[in-house]
Amino acid sequence: MISAIWLGMILVSIVVAAATGRLDAVNRAVFEGAKAGVSICIGLVGILAFWLGMMRIAERAGILRALARLLAPLVRRLFPDVPRDHPAMGYILSNMTANLLGLGNAATPMGIKAMEELQKLNPDPKTATPAMCTLLALNTASLTVVPTTVIALRAQMGSANPVDIVGTTLVATAIGTATAIVLDRWFRRRGK
Amino acid sequence: MYAWVTALSAWIIPALLAAILAAALVRRVPVYEAFVEGAKDGFGTAVAIIPHVVAMMVAISVFRASGALDLLVALCRPLTDALRVPGEILPLAFLRPLTGSGALSYMVDLFQTHGPDSLIGRMASTIQGSTDTTFYVLAVYFGAVGVTRARYALTVGLLADLAGIAAAIWITNRVFG
């Protein structure tokens, strides 16, 4: 699926560029895209190191296990194939909490740790497990209560009431997340 | 309300850090050692996702520069016009799953042209706040553990984006329209 979309995007782009005489723009875009990819990853090093460090402290202090136990009934339903006391549960919960609070930067390292723990339960390391797909679906739907970046930008651009979109955002994000969960269930049951 | 939200976002990370460190103190965890041990993984993880993120960024960058994105928007125009979706919002809907920074700069562009408190400005804000950059999230999360066969994850992610965007357009029309 990713292969097909990736290939499709590049081939369609080349055809369109050739037809409209924009091949030089494509040449530049290849270099710019590659460079942007590396700078994004290198830019992540600091924040990843910091949060992974804090997460290790939280783990050793037993916070993740406590969190997992507290919210287990809810998360168990979403991730039925993850054992109850597995460390993945704690990371999944930290990831979901960080997303809810709109802490995008803090959510990513926790999501990555959750994926690593889920990978330990994976019989085929190259193929995503249903639990991994569920975690990804929750993250792409981005259940957010406080869209911090958007509010900050609105304030900066002279909005009279920068937070008046919190209500509509909440409704839209709830519908998006509900859709993600339902679709995830549906695909999971189809066993694809 | 605005003051309350900014205060909350200013406090949340320090409060989280304080809570983690306080719990570690109670449990007598050697905090500095634990931190360094965990932080060591940061570099490896960031490097591991480079190939995945580069692949995505190149495809997206080429897709935009070639004019293929504009073409896709133009092709969808009759359908979205029939559904009474403002044409200005359409590029944002396509950019959002592909590139976080691209979508953000397009939103700022809409703010500049129409104002953040216009219907289009509010619609853009709601779309931006209620969906995430699916391709990036997929590249980073699956890239970090080396999963290359994503199965149905991308389909679910993109359909959820579609639902989120449709919901955002519908609710802003209803509330502010």
What is the distance between the alpha carbons of residues A144 and A150, in angstroms, rounded to a whole number?
11
With beta carbons under 8 A apart, name residues in chain B contacting A93: none
- Best of A136, A149, A166 to substitute, by most chain B Cβ atoms within 10 angstroms, is A136
**What's the predicted TM-score (pTM) here?**
0.83
Contact A169 B35 (CB under 8 A): no
Structure tokens at A37: 């990819």
Q: How far apart are CA B43 and CA B114, in angstroms?
A: 42
Q: What is the pLDDT along chain B (177 residues), one digit of tens a residue?
A: 556 666 766 777 788 899 999 999 999 999 999 999 999 988 988 898 899 889 988 998 999 999 998 898 899 889 888 888 888 898 899 889 988 878 888 898 899 889 999 999 999 999 998 888 899 899 999 999 999 999 999 999 999 999 999 999 999 999 998
pLDDT at A147: 78
CB proximity list for A183: less than 8 A, separation 6 or greater: A137, B155, B156, B159, B160
- Inform me whether the pLDDT recorded for A145 exceeds 60: yes
Give the model's confidence band at A46: pLDDT under 50 very low, under 70 low, under 90 confident, else very high: confident
Tell me if chain B has a CB within 8 Å of the CB of A121.
no
Contacts of A111 in chain B (CB under 8 A): 141
Residue B81's pLDDT is 86
- Which residues fall within 8 angstroms of residue A61, CB to CB, at 6 or more apart? B20, B23, B24, B26, B27, B29
Cβ pairs A/B, distance under 8 A: 367
Cα B110 to Cα B65: distance, rounded to the nearest angstrom? 20
> Quick check: B65 and A2 CB within 8 A?
no
**pLDDT on residue B177:** 81
Gap between the terminal Cα atoms of chain A: 12
Q: What is the chain B residue with the closest CA to A180?
A: B160
Residues A61-100 have pLDDT tens digits of 988 788 778 877 888 889 999 987 788 988 998 888 877 7
pLDDT at A50 over 70: yes
| Residue that has been written with the tokens 């041990």 in this structure | B37
pLDDT at A172: 93
Name the minimum distance, in Å, from the CA of B132 to any CA of chain A. Answer: 5
Question: Lowest-confidence range among A13-17, A28-32, B51-55?
Answer: B51-55
Mean pLDDT of chain A: 88
How does residue A102 score in pLDDT terms, banded at 50, 70 and 90?
low
Mutate to test the interface with B, among A55, A101, A110, A168 (most CBs of B within 10 A): A168
How far away is chain A from the Cα of B161, in angstroms, using its nearest Cα? 6
- Chain B contacts in chain A segment 69-88 (CB below 8 A): none
Contact residues, chain B, for A141 at CB < 8 Å: 131-132, 157, 160-161, 164
Quote the pLDDT of residue A187.
Answer: 94
Q: What integer is the mean pLDDT of A39-59?
A: 87
Among B56, B66, B104, beta carbon nearest to A16: B66
Identify from A11, A126, A169, A183 which residue to disrupt to test chain B contact, counting B C-beta atoms within 10 A and taking the largest count.
A169
DSSP alpha helix (H) spans, chain B: 2-26, 31-39, 41-48, 50-65, 68-82, 90-98, 100-114, 119-130, 134-145, 153-176
Question: Using CA atoms, how far apart are residues B144 and A111, in angstroms rounded to an integer?
Answer: 10
Q: What is the ipTM of this complex?
A: 0.84
